Amino acid sequence: MIEVTVKVPREIGELISETGEAIYTEALREVAGKRLSHTQRRLDELRQRVSEYESKYGSSYQEFSRNVPDTAEGHEDWAEWSYLDKVSSALSEKIGKMRIITGK
């Protein structure tokens, strides 16, 4: 576990001290819930672009990266597809964590 320190005005601090840690949990769930749908939409967009490369080359990213065509287009596609693969993986992991927080 990590400890997070939040600075708030004294008046808000008094309200928080009355409600205990429950307010932090509730706030975190609320924020994660709002971010979840946005992050999922972004992941869906990236997956659509990955799907376009899979259709274009008839292979997965892993297969394609082992046999990148020795052309300018092949190298450009590899660079873009590599980015899409890394960002998609990171977003998938982030979504998994948000689902744990939100219980969805």
Number of H helices, E strands in the chain: 4, 0
- Ranges in the chain, pLDDT < 50: none
Query: Phi and psi for 4 in degrees, rounded to 5?
Result: -115, 130
For residue 4, tell me if it sits in a domain: no
pLDDT the model gives residue 98: 92
Residue 24: predicted pLDDT: 75
Question: What distance lies between CA 65 and its chain's CA centroid?
Answer: 23
Q: How many CB atoms lie within 10 A of CB 98?
A: 21
Establish if 5 belongs to a structural domain: no
91 with 46: CB under 8 angstroms? yes
Give the chain's domain count.
Answer: 1
- Residue 48 domain flag: yes
Question: Using one digit for the tens of pLDDT, what is the confidence trace for 63-89?
Answer: 999 999 999 999 999 999 999 999 999
Residue 84's domain spans which residues?
A: 10-102
What mean pLDDT, rounded, does the chain reach? Answer: 89
Please indicate, yes or no, if residue 1 is contained in any of the structural domains: no
**Main-chain phi, psi angles of 49, to 5 degrees:** -65, -40
16 falls within a domain: yes
Residue 3 lies in a domain: no
Please enumerate, as own/partner, the contacts of 39-45 that have beta carbons within 8 Å and a separation of 24 or more: 39/91, 39/94, 39/95, 39/98, 40/95, 42/91, 43/88, 43/91, 43/92, 43/95
